[in-house]
Structure 1
């Protein structure tokens, strides 16, 4: 069900985009500017060998489209990391082992139908899987209201808010069973949430831009906040370097699991 919701939203976005393939942007004079679908792909990789061993890989894909009737977005993100960790073997000895330390992927889409040049009704869906997070997986669908407060060639600011429904499965809880620590599966939780999204973009210079996106999914059992900030410097029309910083917070966590995760990335970006 959680994957189906995202697929429906994405297909709807593509169908809308195929009907109206021109983008309208609001500049200070109120005159529209037109273009089609646009997007960017990010990729970062680091590997260390010698006195220590580690591998880190992260990738992102984002697509956006805005025209006279629709404001659509689609994204995919992935993170995987390996490194030296200390484990206890069958004989009770502590040994080093090259093992996976992060494995997370996320996808989502939103479809917005414009009521006027600035306000729109938006349906959104998001799914995330994280082997090392406070929740093994979480998915959210919502319907709300969006407003483009400001949009010109230098600055963009938009807001979205509305009710939604969220399902998530907390990470396995480690319990002592007969002197042996074993993971115990937790029950899936479902609840209504309030979803909010704030997206801000600002072009500092002709080749330098800052972007910050804040996502809130607040329910009575769990409150989830995620903030993504990024500073990109263009090298050519298509290629850029980007420094990103992400903060994620889950209020409902298992013992031994932290509520807050951070991620710093330096990626190569391709714009299309």
Structure 2
């Protein structure tokens, strides 16, 4: 996680360095198609957000994202790395049974994955994908999925893009520890066994340019098995300030159908990040 945060800071510094270079541009568009064409179809973006509160409350929140994409006549590839960490004051009981405030970690998550797509024609492609997710406070401590499937680009022009992926896969995951409170008040955590099952994977990705400098993107992921069904939706609205630098509002929803007692099915995350496109 520390490496992820450092990477986010580096990206923010790079964004500041290129701001002067882009300041003379009159258009805020983030269209990097010409740069991608000169780099074998590669493009990418880095995001970083941080918030801290002191005084009557004390919290620290940081998240960082890195995305790389490649699309040319033969390939449609993607790589991503995300990290989230938060700390805040929580109430706990000490050894004497007194309630005290303690500055403790309240969120610690990282996720990485990649997909490799080989184009059959201008719209169809075969895709292999892998994803790994670790979450200390989620329904599953970790989960990993590999899959192979078929992809189809239903729409692609200067304003909008819509693509679908579907296929079979295999998933392994370890549910979060089960917490049991004994009659004497002692809290006991029981480690859960690792689960595995075949799944059906589906992905829908939609992009739409609202104006010359404003773009909307929504990605829906499905990994459905007989034991657990996992859904994730990420929607983001980005507003470009220069060709490289943008502000992005994001909202993520994650859902697990099978959870331990006392753990919620749904997790949400709202972010406001600085984005550097390259």
Aligned position for 2:90: 85
Match 1:106 to one of 95, 100, 111: 111
Report the Cα distance in structure 1 between the residues aligned to 2:48 and 2:234, rounded to whole angstroms: 16
Scaled by the length of structure 2, the TM-score of the pair is 0.85
What do the CA deviations read for 1:143-196 (whole angstroms, capped 9, x no partner)?
000000011111000000000000000000012457421111000000000000
Q: Over aligned residue pairs, what C-alpha RMSD do you find?
A: 1.1
Matched ranges for 1:180-195 at <5 A: 180-195=186-201
- The DSSP-based 3-state class of the residue aligned with 1:237 is coil
Aligned position for 1:40: 45
Report the Cα distance in structure 1 between the residues aligned to 2:181 and 2:209, rounded to whole angstroms: 54
What do the CA deviations read for 1:131-150 (whole angstroms, capped 9, x no partner)?
00000000000000000001
- The DSSP-based 3-state class of the residue aligned with 1:153 is coil
The reply to whether residue 219 of structure 1 matches residue 225 of structure 2 is: yes
Report the Cα distance in structure 2 between the residues aligned to 1:52 and 1:206, rounded to whole angstroms: 40
Report the Cα distance in structure 1 between the residues aligned to 2:154 and 2:275, rounded to whole angstroms: 27
Report the Cα distance in structure 1 between the residues aligned to 2:104 and 2:170, rounded to whole angstroms: 35
Aligned position for 2:240: 234
The reply to whether residue 60 of structure 1 matches residue 70 of structure 2 is: no
What do the CA deviations read for 1:200-219 (whole angstroms, capped 9, x no partner)?
00000010000000000000
The reply to whether residue 253 of structure 1 matches residue 259 of structure 2 is: yes
Shift of 1:257: 0.4
The reply to whether residue 120 of structure 1 matches residue 125 of structure 2 is: yes
Shift of 1:91: 0.6
Matched ranges for 1:8-19 at <5 A: none
Report the Cα distance in structure 2 between the residues aligned to 1:103 and 1:176, rounded to whole angstroms: 24
What do the CA deviations read for 1:111-148 (whole angstroms, capped 9, x no partner)?
00111110000000000000000000000000000000
Report the Cα distance in structure 1 between the residues aligned to 2:92 and 2:144, rounded to whole angstroms: 32
What are structure 2's unaligned runs of at least 5 residues? 1-35
Q: What count of residue pairs does the alignment treat as equivalent?
A: 240
Deviant stretches of 4+, over 4 Å = none
Scaled by the length of structure 1, the TM-score of the pair is 0.87
Instruction: Tell me which of the two structures has the higher relative contact order, counting C-alpha pairs closer than 8 angstroms and 6 or more residues apart.
Output: 2
Q: Which moved more, 1:175-184 or 1:200-209?
A: 175-184
